[in-house]
């Protein structure tokens, strides 16, 4: 099954496509938000709101393990995730979409693994599924690569932090991409992210960032997000043959 992890700007998926059923899953890590099974292009697609219903949970309090485990329980093997981000590059404008190919993690207070009781070291050389990345890239007008800087939040970053992130090669910055991508990889899921650029990050553009600006820009991105997700799902193959499925083969000591 295909899964969608939706952030800001994707709730209209539930309005555009019929809901076949809803799943309420309680995992060993806690209860996940209600998962809606949608019918898109004659496929069952599991949609989970990352921040719970009503966007009520802040980024640093999301139960990422419960969300990923719930999708795993119902049989999701490939995930399209959406993340709102700030741009570190004036050539990556608000309103555009970027498909990250790597990340640098600056979160510091999150549970980031399922393997608390055994020694497992997964390879994260290429953390995002390249097969899904190419499907997304071919489905719309996007920036095809860039390093995602993950920060703890919920505050926005300082100007000095942003200049540092830019100096080390970051292209966009956000608060929800990690540990989600890592947990999906630990569950041997294919995972691709669609980053919606809602603003220039602090100090990249002269004026101060406001949450109103972010919300307004996210609304502008919503139609693009829905279109590219729909096209990507249509192109996805249910018969997977992907190295993401074998992540744990050489990871367990």
CA 172/CA 93 separation, integer angstroms: 11
pLDDT at position 209 is 65
Distance, first Cα to last Cα, the chain: 30
- pLDDT tens per residue across span 151-164: 999 999 999 999 99
Percent of the chain with pLDDT over 70: 96
User: Which two tokens mark 122?
Assistant: 């997964």
Identify the pLDDT of residue 185: 97
CATH code for the structural domain at 2-238: 3.40.50.1580
| Helix count and strand count (H, E) for the chain | 6, 12
Q: Which of 9-23, 31-45, 133-147, 159-173 has the lowest mean pLDDT?
A: 9-23
Task: At 142, list the tokens.
Answer: 């996007």
CA 198/CA 211 separation, integer angstroms: 10
The model's pTM is 0.94
């Amino acid at each position: 099954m295909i899964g969608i992890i939706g952030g800001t700007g994707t709730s209209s998926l539930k309005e555009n496509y019929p809901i076949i059923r809803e799943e309420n899953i309680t995992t060993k890590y806690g209860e996940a938000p209600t998962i809606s099974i949608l019918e898109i292009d004659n496929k069952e697609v599991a949609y989970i709101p990352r921040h719970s219903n009503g966007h009520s949970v802040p980024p640093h309090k999301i139960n990422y393990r419960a969300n990923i485990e719930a999708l795993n329980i119902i049989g999701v093997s490939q995930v399209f995730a959406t993340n709102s981000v700030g741009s570190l590059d004036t050539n990556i404008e608000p309103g555009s979409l970027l498909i990250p190919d790597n990340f640098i993690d600056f979160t510091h207070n999150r549970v980031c693994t399922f393997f608390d009781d055994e020694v497992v070291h997964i390879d994260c050389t290429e953390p995002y599924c390249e097969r899904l990345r190419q499907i997304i890239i071919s489905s719309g007008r996007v920036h095809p690569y860039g390093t995602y800087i993950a920060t703890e939040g919920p505050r926005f970053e300082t100007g000095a932090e942003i200049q540092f992130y830019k100096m080390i090669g970051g292209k966009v910055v956000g608060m929800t991409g990690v540990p989600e991508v890592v947990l999906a990889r630990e569950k041997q899921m294919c995972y691709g992210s669609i980053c919606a650029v809602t603003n220039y990050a602090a100090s990249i553009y002269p004026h101060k960032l406001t949450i109103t600006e972010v919300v307004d820009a996210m609304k502008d991105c919503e139609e693009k997000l829905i279109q590219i997700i729909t096209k990507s799902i249509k192109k996805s193959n249910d018969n997977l043959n992907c190295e993401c499925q074998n992540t744990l083969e050489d990871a367990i000591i």
